[in-house]
Structure 1
Amino acid sequence: MNHALPEVDRPTRTFSQLLSSTRRGARLARLLAGTELRTWGAPQDLTERAELVVAELAANAVLHGLVPGRCFRLTLAYDPAAGRLRVEVTDARGETHPQPPPADTEPGAPHTGGRGLLLVAALTDHWDCVPHPPGGKTVRAELIDTRTGT
């Protein structure tokens, strides 16, 4: 007889997918992330925030991390007991690193890019960028379920 594991005994769930460095690949990353998180029973608020973060990071990987013929990778790691989700997007261009615009940028100032990272910063509890050998980078973002408060 199968018994469902209590929430505290559920292991960390992981998902990883290589996607084409195209607008379609970025769109698919968001859809896959939302579907996977709902399948895992992640809270709606966490799932919605994650979908927006994945959309922005995947779009950045396609726009700024593109190396012809190379894909980007989406990785999710969800720990339901801790209410913690890690989103990672890895691309092939390690020489470019995401830089959010200064916080004091005027709302009406000409758009020079990077505003999406302000969204990432607002929706996540922490984000950073690390090298991914041999020549790429991984942008990592951590989201914590607001219900757990951990």
Structure 2
Amino acid sequence: MSTEARPATPVREVTERLSATPRGARLARRLARYHLDGWGIAYDTELSDAAEAVVAELAANAVTHGRVPGRDFELCLTLFADTLRVEVTDTRTERRPPKEPEPPLPQGESGRGLVIVAALAAEWGVAGREVGKTVWACLRLDTGAQKEG
């Protein structure tokens, strides 16, 4: 799946708009697990855990680095036959994540989020919007969240 291309027909899709606060980020993670369980991806499976981690990191980045006061962020989960696509959209256009995340310093207290996303996702990237940006990650269903190798 390329950075912008999507398979023609999603099996399931949900979009949630959440407050750009730590509480909204926590709710995004919980809602993701709830929806995935309803779609047959059981709690505490490899895919569910990986998706939860990806949502947690992207939502935390949205409320920390992409927050514009008074504006929400959006979580979209799309389940295709072989892929789960996670998208988190915020309203800050000028703050874009790097194309290749750099590992943080061993004693560093932050900077691990996109490293975790890159490790769990088959692919990830950033799509520009007129206002804001969407950071997305695709997780393979057949191999949990492992990259093709």
Q: What TM-score, normalized by structure 1, do the two folds share?
A: 0.81
1:55-102 CA distance string (max 9 Å, x none): 0100000000110100000000012x32x1000000000111112543
Task: Please identify the structure whose Cα radius of gyration is greater.
Answer: 1
Instruction: Give yes or no for the alignment of 1:51 onto 2:52.
Output: yes
1:22 Cα deviation from its structure 2 partner: 0.5
- Match for residue 116 of structure 1 among 103, 109, 113: 113
Shift of 1:116: 1.2
Counterpart of 2:78 in structure 1 is 77
8 Å CA contact retained: 1:98, 1:114:
no
TM superposition outliers: structure 1 runs of 4+ over 3 Å? none
What amino acid sits opposite 1:37 in the alignment?
L
Partner of 1:139: 135
Q: Aligned in 2, Cα 1:97/1:42: closer, same or farther, shift over 3 Å?
A: same
Label 1:129 to 1:77 Cα distance change in 2 as closer, same or farther (>3 A).
same
| Aligned position for 2:97 | 98
**Matched positions, count:** 134
Instruction: Tell me the equivalent position of 2:69.
Output: 68
Identity, in percent, stands at 51
**SS in structure 2 at match of 1:95:** coil
List gaps (5 residues or longer) in structure 1.
1-9
Is 1:127 matched with 2:128? no
C-alpha RMSD over aligned residues: 2.1
The answer to whether the 8 A contact 1:126-1:143 is kept is yes
Task: Give the Cα separation in 1 of the matches to 2:67 and 2:48.
Answer: 27
Q: Output the TM-score relative to the length of structure 2.
A: 0.82
CA distance in 1, matches of 2:50, 2:101: 21
Mark the CA change 1:141 to 1:11 in structure 2 (over 3 Å): closer, same or farther. closer
Listed as ranges, the gaps of 5+ residues in structure 2 are 1-8
